[in-house]
Structure 1
């Protein structure tokens, strides 16, 4: 929908911000806003493709950020106006960043922090480096078993499902305090380190209370701790009462298949946990109970360009997909963008990841997720 010239311009704008060329970013974002404005005001509003609204939001965010960095005086009112235009004319991006900015600038929540400091903190921490040209994953509201099987599962296509876990008690119950009350003294395995492909990565056995205090609630942890891929619900059945195996997991060629054949894993962690790009052999429904995660998917045909490790980690890519060394991994930059999907998975959403699809996951905030694997 978006012309290549506009996509190129938004890439240049984000690149300018990354390289601290704020005057360039401000100029380019103004060009984008003018360009997108014409598209938004051509024909009936309801007929305007949402992609142009998304582009308008990206341009508004770039303008807000560059304006802040250039200004030597308090520019709160100006940034609020830019954000409001992004809210009125654009579409939601980056986990509702415009709402966070306007709230922080209009009426600071912390009297010890000036509005601009709050705004900068939000901009620096919440902005997600999306691929921009990656494909959107379709979103369906409670599809039938037949539709899910025929259009997505049988065709090995990813899809986001909404409205399928609203009946889970976990959505309203789960919090650090609840987890501590139910299982605070229980011992669980925790991955320590930014990601399992790093040399310093390791595992520790700690109590749930220690995990919460040392990693989930510690604002200055010495390292990242992740309760990842653990069959927590077999260990603590009381927590399993708060979730339910989705009906889609019972689509199987095995006539004797039952609920016990579904592997259920917990993924609890703070902001910043990373699952390096990898693939799994089974069908996967990743369900977000709390927080949000940025996810990038690659079709199996991208395998060579993802440079898998040899040996035991042959299902894991050597490429850091968000900060790629193009000299070391030259094939990666040439991957056809139609073979890449990306999505920010939010509370109450399920993501279907077909077998052998490569996926990279980074938590954007404190997160509780549950995955269901089946054959």
Structure 2
């Protein structure tokens, strides 16, 4: 795919971060933002197992969306200690997604600092994400269109991003926040999904302690190259347009989709996947006609 490496800096001032990246809505990796955090030295899988091993956590795998699934409903549950043992023993598709572990283990709150980076961050307890080697987070964008500070710990993960203006090539599923789940973004099938050849994005590998800034509404696909975990901090969208899109997603779109799953069942999921193909190939045809006209 047409992917460029995400820009990297070791450190950055508030003014430069806002002017060069937030205002321009360009992603960046800040490599040394966490070096004065206790988490930089402590946040390894063994530490999490030690302080949260008996906590029962929700797990997700790579199964396709089913009409019987609730919104972000977990596929199974397991004690954190058993889950970390699984992560360290072999590759697994089981992930912890958007989980408030700090509510269950408050001592984790003492391990990180709210970064003074120019964004007004939402001061709720941060969400954590865990994954095993080769586990993948499907291509999606966040429901609230927030600016995201995504910190990675223990190991390495690959992050692929696409700006919102690339949505026309992404086989976006209607009334949802995802691309078609049968797309392998590591090895795209351009015969079945030809529009992806036109998509221009960004890529980077995050290592322990590094932070990735993801601008408002950016598509992102994550792959854990090793077992590890991440934390996201959020800042509400600055764009009025994106703020209105977030409100629509949260208060209308999500509830409409849940209702339609109950009413039409799997036919609703199949209909949306087919519309993703039709809409994207329609956009591709329009792009081609503009180029030749």
TM-score (norm 2): 0.71
Is it true that 1:353 corresponds to 2:222 in the alignment? no
Please name the residue that 1:308 is paired with: 172
Is it true that 1:344 corresponds to 2:216 in the alignment? no
Is it true that 1:327 corresponds to 2:191 in the alignment? yes
Please name the residue that 2:59 is paired with: 190
Bigger CA drift: 360-369 or 164-173? 164-173
Counterparts of residues 121-160 of structure 1 (less than 5 Å): 131=1, 133-160=2-29
Please name the residue that 2:84 is paired with: 212
Q: Which of 1 and 2 has higher RCO (CA within 8 Å, sep 6+)?
A: 2
Is it true that 1:251 corresponds to 2:119 in the alignment? yes
Counterparts of residues 221-236 of structure 1 (less than 5 Å): 223-236=92-105
Please name the residue that 1:275 is paired with: 137
Please name the residue that 2:285 is paired with: none
Is it true that 1:163 corresponds to 2:32 in the alignment? yes
CA distance in 2, matches of 1:290, 1:236: 19
Please name the residue that 1:102 is paired with: none
Asked whether the 8 Å contact 2:152–2:209 carries over to 1, the reply is yes
CA distance in 2, matches of 1:150, 1:298: 20
The 1:172–1:227 alpha-carbon spacing in structure 2 relative to 1, beyond 3 Å, is same
Equivalent position SS for 1:331: helix
The 1:195–1:157 alpha-carbon spacing in structure 2 relative to 1, beyond 3 Å, is farther
Please name the residue that 2:153 is paired with: 289
Equivalent position SS for 1:182: helix
CA distance in 1, matches of 2:156, 2:50: 24
Asked whether the 8 Å contact 1:309–1:316 carries over to 2, the reply is yes
CA distance in 2, matches of 1:243, 1:197: 34
Tell me the CA shift for residue 278 of structure 1: 1.0
If you compute each CA radius of gyration, which structure gives the higher value, 1 or 2? 1
The 1:333–1:206 alpha-carbon spacing in structure 2 relative to 1, beyond 3 Å, is same
CA distance in 2, matches of 1:349, 1:178: 19
Asked whether the 8 Å contact 1:300–1:356 carries over to 2, the reply is yes
Tell me the CA shift for residue 138 of structure 1: 1.1
Question: After TM superposition, where is structure 1 displaced by more than 4 Å over at least 4 residues in a row?
Answer: 195-202
Equivalent position SS for 1:333: helix
The 1:186–1:372 alpha-carbon spacing in structure 2 relative to 1, beyond 3 Å, is same
CA distance in 2, matches of 1:251, 1:150: 12
Asked whether the 8 Å contact 2:151–2:232 carries over to 1, the reply is yes
| Structure 1, gaps ≥5 residues long | 1-130, 253-257
Asked whether the 8 Å contact 1:300–1:358 carries over to 2, the reply is yes
CA distance in 2, matches of 1:247, 1:340: 28
Tell me the CA shift for residue 245 of structure 1: 2.1
Larger helix proportion of the pair: 1
TM-score (norm 1): 0.56
Asked whether the 8 Å contact 1:224–1:272 carries over to 2, the reply is yes
CA RMSD after TM alignment: 2.3
Asked whether the 8 Å contact 1:195–1:273 carries over to 2, the reply is no
CA distance in 1, matches of 2:23, 2:188: 32
CA distance in 1, matches of 2:32, 2:23: 22
Please name the residue that 2:250 is paired with: none
Tell me the CA shift for residue 184 of structure 1: 1.2
Match of 1:367 among 228, 236, 239: 228
How many residues align? The count is 228
